[in-house]
Structure 1
Amino acid sequence: MRADWPYPRWVAHRGAGKLAPENTLAAFRLGAQHGYRMFECDAKLSADGVPFLMHDSTLERTTSGHGVGGDQPWHALSQLDAGSWHSRAYAGEPLATLENAARFCLHNGFLLNIEIKPTPGAERRTGEVVARDAQRLWAGQAIPPLLTSFKTDALAGARDTAPGLPRGLLLDTLWDGWLATARDLGCVAIVCNHALWDAHTVAQARDAGLRTLSYTVNDDWAAERLIALGTDGIITDRVDLFSPAR
């Protein structure tokens, strides 16, 4: 039997998709202005163990920094400009810690999907620290964050550290053993490339008691197909196109 699902269908990818600098509080605020109640973000660790929001392992694409983000202490990372790459309007926007994101969501009644996005080689430790901090930050809350990852070692670390937090396995292909692995990790959801869902794969996940979520859905035809299949969640960049009330 599948557990109750407390999360909305529509989830804003990296805060507000491409309309604001990804994984920043500015993006969360913009996604909220478009009516979104749940956000997806990427979390990794600084060299001194602070979970912060960033997708890439390296800093160049989305900040004024250089090199591997996980090799630098949070003090250095906190000084970087994470907004100018996007547009002048966001110049000076800082990187966010997971704690920043948590406090924004908790104070405003929003929900969060935290993708554990480790620096290569730090998979298990990142899962452990992100889960530990999420458990602390959301203590006593009715709806905890959903922890997801492509990295099974990260999900295992999260499971062993905070077994009560819900987890989801991210997939970009349906590799051999994906369903058994999700069950072994105690996952509640599969989150995969939207093209991988069809009637058969949805039925497989449902029969295993798992929820079905998709990334990154930016076209109306793709969203309609997923809704018709009865999937549970749609992660999108197009917060300007899709109303979360639909």
Structure 2
Amino acid sequence: MTDWPYPRWVAHRGAGKLAPENTLAAFKLGASHGYRMFECDVKLSADGVPFLMHDATLERTTNGVGTGGDQPWDQLARLDAGGWHSRAYAGEPLPTFENIARYCLANGHLLNIEIKPTPGVEAKTGEVVANYANRIWAGQAVPPLLTSFRPESLQGAMQSQPQLPRGLLLDTLWDGWFDIARQLQCVAIVCNFRLWTPQLVAQVHGAGMRCSSYTVNESQDAQRLVQLGTDGIITDRVDLFAPAP
């Protein structure tokens, strides 16, 4: 990917903390603040349906109990994924990945899909999510960006749909990360924003990859990242940062 078709500002999990994360309601709220690219987390139900959720377990963001990936979609679809946030969002359902993708396409939005596998199905999750993305975005000018902390998930995505762009997520600079990113033919490194230094930006850019950051919620941090020459900023504060350019 020689050109970078994505905007600098990306709304985290739809609208950050202003709406229940990873729901259609959050995407709509983020869009109302002018955002046109969104980040979301995608995992698989027990019967292989990709759906949006960050945690492995259901308790924090739904009224369900247990591991989300251990339950079939027909059970997950009945859960309340909004009431935990506030009364105004009570009854908001978990969305399938396909429904969110269709919403984004219908409205001209771009998507950063974090592949967030249930432990034990890392490669399978990457494969399935990439296959769904390839089918849904067929013929579109700008594909989604597939990212993950799990190299196995990115490997599964690369093996199934090698043409889709990939990015390695890093919370620490663990041994071998740079070689793994190159082996996975990543187009981006998405770091905890505190990790970026002039030397690291130069290393990543020198390898032909872009530099993105999560989760940036303070103006001084965003200003430093812009001055460093990084390419993308994922934020919860859709109410604070104007998303363009």
* Deviations 1:145-189, CA, capped at 9 Å, x for gaps: 000000000000000000010000000001111111100001000
| Structure-2 separation of matches of 1:245 and 1:58 | 35
Counterparts of 1:70-85 in structure 2, within 5 Å, are 70-85=69-84
TM superposition score normalised by structure 2: 0.99
What percent of counterpart residues are identical? 74
One-letter code aligned to 1:51: P
Structure 1 residue 226: deviation in Å?
0.2
May I ask how many residue pairs the two structures share in their alignment? 245
Question: 2:8·2:244 contact (CA, 8 Å) conserved in 1?
Answer: no
Stretches of structure 1 that go unaligned for 5 or more consecutive residues are none
1:89 has 2:95 as partner: no
Question: 2:7·2:244 contact (CA, 8 Å) conserved in 1?
Answer: no
One-letter code aligned to 1:53: L
- What is the match of residue 10 of structure 2? 11
One-letter code aligned to 1:225: R
1:218 has 2:217 as partner: yes
* Deviations 1:51-90, CA, capped at 9 Å, x for gaps: 0000000000000100000000000000000000000000
One-letter code aligned to 2:35: Y
| Structure-1 separation of matches of 2:196 and 2:2 | 20
TM superposition score normalised by structure 1: 0.99
SS at match of 2:181: helix
Counterparts of 1:8-47 in structure 2, within 5 Å, are 8-47=7-46
| Structure-1 separation of matches of 2:2 and 2:20 | 34
| Structure-2 separation of matches of 1:10 and 1:160 | 29
Stretches of structure 2 that go unaligned for 5 or more consecutive residues are none
* Deviations 1:116-146, CA, capped at 9 Å, x for gaps: 0000001000000000000000000000000
Counterparts of 1:1-246 in structure 2, within 5 Å, are 3-245=2-244
One-letter code aligned to 1:39: F
Structure 1 residue 43: deviation in Å?
0.2
